[in-house]
Structure 1
Amino acid sequence: MPVIHSADAQVHEVHNARFTSLVRPGTGSAELCVWQTEVEADSVGVPHRILGEEAFVLLSGEVTMTIDGESAPMKPGDAAVAPAGSMIALANSTDEIATLLVTVRVGFAAELADGSTFTPPWAS
């Protein structure tokens, strides 16, 4: 199927964010995963180590991206790349939802603080 309609996308709600799965093996991709993340207002994401490179583009709102302890604000149109093995976290200190477009390679996983590995369903 060449087009994945947003109405057909799987949606997952984890912690303070909503993940809308767009491109992934389950929708026909062999190499790439793309999803939209909505970060709730006035929230701090769970820090985690990513086991593959991850790229972010902020579509709306404002967030603070932290990669390996270095934090920077992002405004719409800004992008960030987190290298494999880095510890990342997203925070939204505003009163509006922030929306990002995120991409990784198929097989992406993350390691949580307790040492467990998590393969997000929106990337598989």
Structure 2
Amino acid sequence: MPVIRSVDAQVHEVHNARFTSLVRPGTGSAELCVWQTEVRGESVGVPHRVLGEEAFVLLSGAVTMTIDGESVAMRPGDAAVAPAGSMIALANPTGEIATLLVTVRVGFAAELPDGSTFTPPWAS
């Protein structure tokens, strides 16, 4: 049984967050990517357009998820789905780290505000 140990996972620091890559093609997945995101307190993420569906589950802390201009406060246990093509942003208004579990399909990419496309290494 393929098990990805958290101590062996690749970690990436981007903007206001730490991404711990768990399930992706590099760890044996053919279709899905799963990672843990830790969002620093009192921070606002860079708005970006997701080019594939993205699902979020808040494990701890609190965040404000904005999808296509609609902002909603999330608490632990809450989930959100960003449809393909939607503009998203994630903010943590508290002083504590917020932790989310995120999943997408293999091949996921995002479009940044400058129009460039970004394929996150934690999803490839």
Q: Normalising to structure 1: TM-score of the pair?
A: 0.99
SS at match of 1:26: helix
The structural deviation recorded for 1:22 is 0.1
1:36-88 Cα deviation digits (max 9, x unpaired): 00000000000000000000000000000000000000000000000000000
Distance 1:16 1:6 in 2: 21
Distance 1:31 1:11 in 2: 21
The structural deviation recorded for 1:106 is 0.1
Letter in 1 for 2:26: G
Distance 1:113 1:47 in 2: 7
- The total of aligned residue pairs comes to 124
Say if 2:116 is the partner of 1:116.
yes
Letter in 1 for 2:70: E
Say if 2:95 is the partner of 1:95.
yes
Distance 2:66 2:96 in 1: 19
The equivalent of 2:69 in structure 1 is: 69
The equivalent of 1:49 in structure 2 is: 49
Say if 2:114 is the partner of 1:104.
no
The structural deviation recorded for 1:27 is 0.1
SS at match of 1:95: coil
The equivalent of 1:3 in structure 2 is: 3
Gaps of 5+ in 1: none
Distance 2:41 2:114 in 1: 26
> Once the two structures are aligned, what percentage of the paired residues are identical?
90
